[in-house]
Chains A and B, each alone.
Chain A
Amino acid sequence: MRGVFILLLLALAIGAALILFALRAPKITDTGKFSTLSREGGLLLNNVLLACSCAVVFFGTLYALFQDMVTGEKITVGAPYFNQTFLPILGVLILAAGVGPFLAWKSAKLPDVLRRCRTTLVVTAIVCILIALLTGVRDPVGLLGVAIAVWLAVATSMDLARRAGLPGVSLLTALNRLRGLPSSAWALYIGHTGLAIAAAGIVAISVWRIEAIQLQKKGTPVGVGEYQFTLMDVSQASGPNYQATVATAKVERNGKIVTLLFPERRWYPVEQNATTEAGISTRWHGDLYAVLGDPNGSDGFVTLCYYNPGVPWMWFGVLLIAVWGLISLADRRLRIGAQGRIVTPSALQPAE
């Protein structure tokens, strides 16, 4: 079943891409000249980096298989490989995404770009120092991750403010200008904001994740960062085709109840298979996450309690990117272009 599903997914993704390419390839022609330091140059760098990161994931995923087929040597290519190869490329891509909007179409002026980069750098540095002081993060890799996400967020909001005419105009004029921006411009700002939010989420869960694994008795609180997880009650329940052990866990912060979690252990008698259903509560800053393990003795259970910061940010950021990508397709220029045939301009003619 899973194989069929994956086959269909591959057919859809690869088939659709190939058909689109076959239909459109003859129509793709050079339509303009541009200098290396320009928005077009930035988009070229964007495509190169995205293609490289795809290639790394593809190669790393299938390498163990190739190696086994060719030499018979069995190796494992796990998460650490992808963390060390994919993430640096992604980091450079996010830094570059901050600079991209600073570049003018066709030809950008280097001093102008550098001046705006310098302002962004100063603001980013201040924000990062504040974050480091407030949260106590000293790990250099973690700080680098924070800096990358903050860089993109600062660069994007500063470029948006510039487009609105700030700080030279009144707030009302600025809002009016923002309303007048085409949806493709909004796609840029919201897409990049989404990328910054998703990056911040990824950094948050790698730097600030807290886990606690223990044998927990009913009524005894377990500290997970600022939260206390208390196992309140464990009861039996039955679903359509399974029996379940459902726990009620209370989560408190500073003595106040934050939420109740209901982690489950399920037993499917037909399949002779046990599964666990985590109890998850999503807050704006992260997920509170509890897993119920094996019973141990009379009233004790093995429990796993996590605070996973940034998880909702990852989902929300990626969703923003996808939704505004779709909305940008509704840009007026693209709609008008679709009605008639696009006339490709012929090569530059000498003036006579």
Chain B
Amino acid sequence: MRKHVRFIARILPCLAMLMLPIAGAVQALEPGEMFDDPVKEQRARDIGRSLRCLVCQNQSIFDSNASLAKDLRVLVRERMKAGDSDEEVIEFVASQYGSYVLLEPPLNSYTYALWIAPVIFILLGAALAIQFRRRNKVSRHNELSGAAREAAQRILRGGN
């Protein structure tokens, strides 16, 4: 029981954290950081949206106005200037800050369960539904025989 209470005590602040990003849109990206080339700028924004601001509550570095987020945005742009591809930039940042920085969890031994879970849920749901169907199947005995069906349809049409 104590264990459960402690578990809930740990869960609640995390649930509370989920609510935080609602607290108003904040201006983040500054024009001084931006590329002149719109295609390159769009790439930088897309990369920024996939990286987590480490001091924020599940906010991307694109959306956050924290100074650390700004540093990361500048780092992303520096790597892009050095000629890195999108994947190389993201890999570089992850190698510096750990996979915690990736908003999309990578597929590795820590996240196999996470990525396989939706498939398991669907299969489990299908299995339960099939089992339910087995119990609840229309048995052939309840169906009307040919003659009885015709008689029933005659009655339904209004004749006798």
Contacts and interface: CB of A to CB of B under 8 A. Distances in A.
Interface of A: 2-3, 6-7, 10, 30, 33-36, 41, 44-45, 48-49, 51-52, 55-56, 59-63, 65, 67, 69, 71, 73-81, 84-85, 89, 107, 213-215, 275-278, 291-294, 296, 302, 304, 348
Interface in B1-20: 10-16, 18-19
Contact of A302 (B30, B117, B121, B136): B30
A276 B27 contact: yes
Interface of B: 10-16, 18-19, 23-27, 29-31, 34, 50, 52, 58, 60, 98-105, 110-111, 113-114, 117-118, 121-122, 125-126, 128-129, 132-133, 135-139, 142
Nearest to A77: B105
B118 A75 contact: no
A77 B50 CA distance: 11
A91 to B, nearest CB: 13
Nearest to A83: B104
The main secondary structure of chain B at its interface with chain A is: helix
A108 to B, nearest CB: 12
B121 A56 contact: yes
Contacts of B121: 51-52, 55-56, 59
Nearest to B59: A78
B104 A6 contact: no
Nearest to B12: A3
A291 B27 CA distance: 7
B31 A276 contact: no
Contacts of B111: 67, 75
A7 to B, nearest CB: 7
Contacts, number: 132
Contact of B117 (A33, A56, A74, A275): A56
Contacts of B13: 3
B19 A60 contact: no
Nearest to A300: B31
B103 A33 contact: no
Given A67-B110, A275-B24, A75 B138 contact: no
Q: Which 8 A-B pairs have the closest CB atoms?
A: A78-B103, A293-B27, A80-B104, A48-B125, A215-B31, A85-B118, A74-B100, A52-B121
Given A44-B132, A55-B121, 12 more contacts: A3-B12, A3-B13, A35-B137, A36-B133, A56-B118, A62-B14, A78-B52, A79-B103, A84-B104, A89-B118, A278-B24, A294-B30
